[in-house]
Structure 1
Amino acid sequence: MQDHQKTKSASAAPANPDRRRAIKTLGVSAAIGVGATAIGAPFISDPAKAATTTWKVQTSWPAGAGLNTFKAWCATIKERSGGELEFKAFAAKEVVGDFELFDGVKNGVLEAMNSFTVYWAGKLPATAFLSSYLMGLRYPHEWDIFFYSKGGLQMARDVFAKQGIYYVNRIHHGPNIVHSKKPIRSIEDFKDLKLRVPGGMIAEGFAAVGAKTTLLPGGEVFSALEKGTIEAADYTGPAVNWDLGFQQVTKYIWMGPPGLESIYQPVDLMDFCVGMNHWNKLSPQMKQFVESEVQVYSNVHHAAIQKADLEAWDKFAKAGTEVNRLPAEDLPKFQRVAVPIWFKWANKDKDAARVFKAQLELMESPSMGYVTPDMYKGQKLDL
């Protein structure tokens, strides 16, 4: 099949050079529009001659700017691939449950997924370190240093490959915040608070400071808050949370100190993953196309979320929502809680240890410098 696709690509391109240049320009324009470094995706073949492969792709987004951006991007794939590949987009829970996405791709119900990577920490401990965690890497560029300068991307691909899934790339999102029915003004206010969290190290961190944590997918948070099953909930940023109606069932928002919007998920990374059998059916050119497109999507997605978040703050203010920020003096308290949890999770398996070791080296480096050896004295990594 790959040789057949190569032949089509080679024979079709000279017959339609203007269209080829136009599609390339479209990809470049999309990238430049959000300050991207990725180049536009290549035109693959003549859409009139291509046999279209359709992938069902479900996202974790239930609504809002995230879902809208995902669907808009998916709608461009068929034309930009020259008709060879089409993404049929599905919102959260439209095909499988939010926490069933991984198995849906693994078992072939879906060809691909756009998920919050932290959801899979219970299945794959290393994935707890492939998205933000309590007091870990704090800004998007730090994550990109890990992925592209410390071997993080290949580590992620190795972890998912063992499950028959190809991890194409990370997708930048933004910080998560906590909506609450009662004010949270210090670390002590988490004691006995019924709090929704995404699981993994984040759940253990908040449980360690006294919260009564519950694991729920994003699509169930509003109803749980409305019914009083939970008193507070972590979930994405202000724009999506506004669209989900959290202002109707909570009065307060809790965030990190100024300059650090979230201390537990400051860069809530998503991913784009494909069933390995479907990935392996693609030609080398189409694999490159998908990888380039996911990079472009990450840039567009991140920019759209940040813009929407900035606009959402005024809406919360007008709705009477009170924003409380963590006092800076509480950061060391969370740091003391976080460190033993880091090492506990890192030592769950060799993959987790390998991923965390690379991140610990970054956090200790002069470029970042917010972790020092004395902070984890007595802790060891089982490599």
Structure 2
Amino acid sequence: MKNRRSFLTKAGVGLTGAAGLALGAPAIHAQKKTTIKWRMQTYAGPALAKHVIKPAIDSFNKVAGGDMQIELFFADQLVPTGELFRAMQKGTIDAVQSDDDSMASPTEVAVFGGYFPFASRYSLDIPVLFNQYGLNEIWDTEYSKVGVKHLSAGAWDPCHFATKDPIRSLEDMKGKRVFTFPTAGRFLSQFGVVPVTLPWEDIEVALQTGELDGVAWSGITEDYTVGWADVTNYFLTNNISGAWAGSFFANMDQYNKLPGRLKELLNLAMDSSHYYRQWWYWGGEASLRVSGTKMALTTIPDEEWETVEAAAVKFWDKIASESPTKKKVVDIFKQYNADMQKAGRPYRYG
């Protein structure tokens, strides 16, 4: 107290009037609050983002109020999708919603993002693999090495072909120029598919002009939502994966600056996004197969499609041979699918 009085006495020497009063009886001044602002870019265009992310971000901003606001940008608005990782790593953007494969992640797990052939049969497989079979820990380790925070993984829709001409056999797939994900394209090329990479917003026009013969980028819900059902005629009911695996990511430094309350609120928003997609896609895929009028359904017979499934097992082993981390992930996929097969209905049929 003696030191405090001495400081106040010396600090107040020569001050009179309002200044002297301010020191004699300090007033409480409200500090101006600084709102944390993030820029997040999604892989999705506006029509799709309306479902897969915008509701969750809108809710986050509403609850966070003056504490934090996330400005959402759609596919390729700030940077091309293939440059998302680098932009986030550098801090050009703060957060990303994408799969590892599409955003050109340099990590060992990039190949498993998007559609890794036959890794899942249903959308619920993805969150179980991450939350109960150890993928979360692997992804966290790999992204921490490169200054990026892996926030949360979830499932989207299954991967099907939507094409201008019908596919009723593996022979019909040969020569088809198809927009798809890097790893899916790598797998499908052995069946004569020609993978094509284009900006997302150019796909509809490319289908109209004949630059593309089809897409293997989504399920039927997205085909209708983004307009591809208007420029394709057929939907193949066989799929190469039960669900697209995607995640939310953030620049590590920016994430670490967030107070705990905002980190928790961000977790809730991401969970909200994951839950919305579970029922939106699951219901939409069935409803549009039954009631959709824009595309005719085609199917490759089971006995022929089994050769594609067998090729996926060899593809898994090839990927596993590339590194210990990839082998660890593939081993988890194998164990999980074996468990689901043993569990039987409703987890696996046949």
TM-score of the aligned structures, taking structure 2 as reference length: 0.81
From 71, 76, 79, the equivalent of 2:54 is 71
Where does structure 1 lack aligned partners over 5 or more consecutive residues?
A: 1-47, 257-261, 371-383
Q: CA deviation at 1:133?
A: 1.7
From 192, 196, 207, the equivalent of 2:179 is 196
TM-score of the aligned structures, taking structure 1 as reference length: 0.75
Q: Does 1:336 align with 2:310?
A: yes
Q: CA deviation at 1:349?
A: 2.7
Q: Does 1:90 align with 2:41?
A: no
Count of aligned pairs: 313
Q: CA deviation at 1:134?
A: 1.5
Cα distance change of structure 1 residues 335 and 307 upon mapping to structure 2, 3 Å threshold: closer
Aligned to 1:249: 231
Q: Does 1:56 align with 2:39?
A: yes
Supply the RMSD in Å over aligned alpha carbons.
2.4
Describe the superposition over 1:219-276 as per-residue Cα deviations: whole angstroms up to 9, x where unpaired.
23212212212212112232332233223322111121xxxxx2x2321122110000
Q: Does 1:282 align with 2:258?
A: yes
What is the correspondence of 1:229-268 to structure 2 with a 5 Å cutoff?
Answer: 229-256=211-238, 262=239, 264-268=240-244
Amino acid at match of 2:341: M
Counterpart CA distance in 2 for 1:213 and 1:164 is 31
Aligned to 1:269: 245
Contact 1:194/1:231, CA 8 A, preserved across alignment: yes
Cα distance change of structure 1 residues 143 and 239 upon mapping to structure 2, 3 Å threshold: closer
Aligned to 2:21: none
Contact 2:85/2:104, CA 8 A, preserved across alignment: no
Aligned to 2:117, what secondary structure does the other structure show? coil
Aligned to 1:368: 341
Q: Does 1:219 align with 2:201?
A: yes
Describe the superposition over 1:310-354 as per-residue Cα deviations: whole angstroms up to 9, x where unpaired.
55457742x3x2111232112320122212221222233332222
Aligned to 2:83, what secondary structure does the other structure show? helix
Where does structure 2 lack aligned partners over 5 or more consecutive residues?
A: 1-30, 344-350
Contact 1:57/1:90, CA 8 A, preserved across alignment: yes
Aligned to 1:147: 130
Amino acid at match of 1:116: D
Describe the superposition over 1:123-173 as per-residue Cα deviations: whole angstroms up to 9, x where unpaired.
334122244322222112222221112111111111222221101111321
Structure 1: 4+ residue segments shifted above 4 A: 307-316
From 280, 297, 312, the equivalent of 2:273 is 297
Q: CA deviation at 1:103?
A: 1.4
Counterpart CA distance in 2 for 1:355 and 1:99 is 23
Q: CA deviation at 1:68?
A: 4.4
